[in-house]
Amino acid sequence: MSAFSGLSAFPITPCDEAGRVDEAGLRRLLAPLVEAGVDSIGLLGSTGTYAYLTRKERRRAVCIAADAVGNQVPLLVGIGALRTDEAVRLAQDAKEAGACAGLLAPVSYTPLTEDEVFVHFAAVAEEGGLPLVIYDNPATTHFRFTPALLGRLARLPGVVAAKCPGPAPEDAAATVTDLRDALPDGFPLGFSGDWNATEAMLAGGVAWYSVAAGLFPKPCLEIIRAVQAGDATRARALDAAMAPLWDLFKAHSSLRIVHAIAGAQPPRPILPLPEDVQAQALATVRAMGLAA
């Protein structure tokens, strides 16, 4: 199984109030992912709040994770930063610490043009020394990759896969076709947005970059294994069983919900969800049989 296909689980990064990574907490989160047999771990993704951590703590998180998982599961590590030279340094740090690839999002303050994003990726791919996954997350970066730009980037040396937001189910087939037409043959195309991921994979995606899998890998693995087996009926039924969690994600954001379920504090200025919403989230996953 490739590091860029199957289920990639995206855990939170537990930290104290000063933004220092909680080593014991991170190890506790990673152990069930390894045990379940996820295909990769997306460390320091948006759910892992990479943008709120210093370079030192980001490197420390990768070192902890690499030690915790060993050679059992590939680590994909978020290396997004405002400056190109900083993203290069983060890529170098991640590679030295044991990452197999970097998740590069076009983080910005001033809105970026397509040419700026292309040059940014080219520089990080060349100088960072780490294979790159294109990380399209317009909800956080406010930049949306066009199929044409994805196609240009996919042909850069060192760019090895793409992670795109899952389209609405009714648009999945057309979206995947448009992307496949722009990408080189065989280029790994995966999707995030847990509530839309199943249909995107059934339409031809090869990877699910999943927030829910960071806490609940087993039901997510059942979905993607059904997709891989060509059993669309089972995949859709399993996905439908996850609908109460997807509804919470859509109502309150997946980042906030998984922090609440994990009993972790999100980094300020993000505030914990109100106590009644936290209680609702816990009651929901318990009723689904996902938590004690």
Task: Flag whether 247 is in a domain.
Answer: no
Task: Flag whether 243 is in a domain.
Answer: no
In this structure, the strands spanning 101-104 and 159-165 are unpaired
According to the model, what pLDDT value does residue 188 have?
Answer: 98
Task: Flag whether 259 is in a domain.
Answer: no
Residues 269, 19 contacting (CB under 8 angstroms): no
**Local structure of 37: helix, strand or coil:** coil
Residues 209-243 pLDDT 10s: 999 999 999 999 999 999 999 999 999 999 999 99
Residues 242, 212 contacting (CB under 8 angstroms): yes
Q: What is the CATH number of the domain that holds 107?
A: 3.20.20.70
Task: Flag whether 250 is in a domain.
Answer: no
According to the model, what pLDDT value does residue 7 have?
Answer: 98
Task: Flag whether 212 is in a domain.
Answer: yes
Q: Is the pLDDT of residue 2 over 90?
A: no
Mean pLDDT, residues 106-134 taken together: 98
- Average pLDDT over the chain, rounded to an integer: 97
Q: Can you give the residue range of the structural domain that contains 148?
A: 6-229
Mean pLDDT, residues 71-85 taken together: 97
Cα gap 292→125, rounded to integer Å: 43
Mean pLDDT, residues 164-190 taken together: 97
Cα gap 219→90, rounded to integer Å: 33
Task: Flag whether 204 is in a domain.
Answer: yes
Residues 239-281 pLDDT 10s: 999 999 999 999 999 999 999 999 999 999 999 999 999 999 9
According to the model, what pLDDT value does residue 22 have?
Answer: 98
DSSP per-residue string spanning 54-80: -HHHHHHHHHHHHHHHTTSS-EEEE--
According to the model, what pLDDT value does residue 26 have?
Answer: 98
Residues 15-38 pLDDT 10s: 999 999 999 999 999 999 999 999
Please tell me the total count of domains within the chain.
1
According to the model, what pLDDT value does residue 48 have?
Answer: 98
Q: Which two tokens stand for residue 117?
A: 């994003």
Task: Flag whether 277 is in a domain.
Answer: no
pLDDT band, residue 1 (cuts 50/70/90): low
In the DSSP assignment, the letter for residue 42 is: E
Q: Is the pLDDT of residue 4 over 70?
A: yes
The pTM assigned to this predicted structure is 0.97
Q: Is the pLDDT of residue 292 over 90?
A: no
Task: Flag whether 268 is in a domain.
Answer: no
Residues 192, 165 contacting (CB under 8 angstroms): yes
Query: From the CB of residue 56, how many other CB atoms can be counted at a distance below 10 Å?
Result: 12
Q: Residue 236 is which amino acid?
A: R
Q: Is the pLDDT of residue 64 over 80?
A: yes
